[in-house]
Amino acid sequence: MKRLERALAILGGVLLLALLGAIAAGVGLVRRGLSARAQPTRMEEMMALQMRSMATPARVRDLKNPVQPDAALLAGGRHHFADHCASCHANDGSGATEMGKNLYPKAPDLRAPRTQELTDGEIFAIIQNGIRLSGMPAWGEEHGDDRESWALVSFIRHLPKLSPEEQREMEDLNPRGPGERGEDQDEQEFLQGGDEKAADPAMPGMKH
């Protein structure tokens, strides 16, 4: 009987502690709110990365990049990154963009060991499947071409050595807002010109 009482007392104590912990977490949440501005704590980041690593099956982690990172492939990866990824990750992979800095968790610096020490398979899986409860979307399509994601893996490996010329070229490929697109369209129409413009002696050589 005495043992049962002791067990019940311990159980009660544990439940009380859990309740107090939950109340403290709740109060903290209410006081701090759910703002995305905060920086995750080191502990939270470590736990999230550990969980992500545990949730990646060994057969995916051990995948080797099947594509050769030659110039053409890297150029493809660079274009794709400038178009789809740079809005959060920045052309240089630093994550220093308005969106990247204000997400929770923030877009990490892809040039740093945290990313570069992932296996090819892990980076590939992240690109294909995204990261739940974060701003990182899934990009793989069910019957899509895996080579595009592998080209991105090669490009991410290349990021620490990105040249200023490559960065400049990427700036032209970054998506534009409607305002800038409108300007571009006007410019294109002007350059292609109507017939009268093409015949305009003031603009020699302007043909279709």
> Which x/- pattern, by CB under 6 A, does the window 136-165 give for ligand HEC?
xx-x------------x---x---------
Q: Quick one: 20 or 46, whose CB is closer to ligand HEC?
A: 46
Q: Quick one: 103 or 206, whose CB is closer to ligand HEC?
A: 103
The closest alpha carbon to 133, from 3, 31, 36, 4, belongs to: 36
Q: Quick one: 54 or 191, whose CB is closer to ligand HEC?
A: 54
Q: Which residues of 142-172 are buried (b: 16+ CB within 10 A; e: fewer)?
A: eeeeeebbbbbbbbbbbbeebeeebeeebee
Interacting positions 100-129 with ligand HEC (CB under 6 A): 103, 105, 107-108, 110, 114-115, 123, 126-127
Interacting positions 77-96 with ligand HEC (CB under 6 A): 84-85, 87-89
Instruction: Write down the least CB distance from residue 160 to ligand HEC, Å.
Output: 13
The DSSP code for 161 is: G
67 binds ligand HEC (CB under 6 A): no
Contact 138, 117 (CB under 8 A): no
H helix intervals, 33-163:
42-54, 58-61, 71-84, 86-89, 98-102, 113-116, 120-129, 146-158
The closest alpha carbon to 198, from 186, 208, 189, 188, belongs to: 208
Please state whether the peptide bond connecting residue 105 to the residue before it is cis, i.e. omega within 30 degrees of 0: yes
Q: Quick one: 156 or 170, whose CB is closer to ligand HEC?
A: 156
63 binds ligand HEC (CB under 6 A): no
Residues near ligand HEC (CB under 6 A): 48, 84-85, 87-89, 99, 103, 105, 107-108, 110, 114-115, 123, 126-127, 131, 134-137, 139, 152, 156
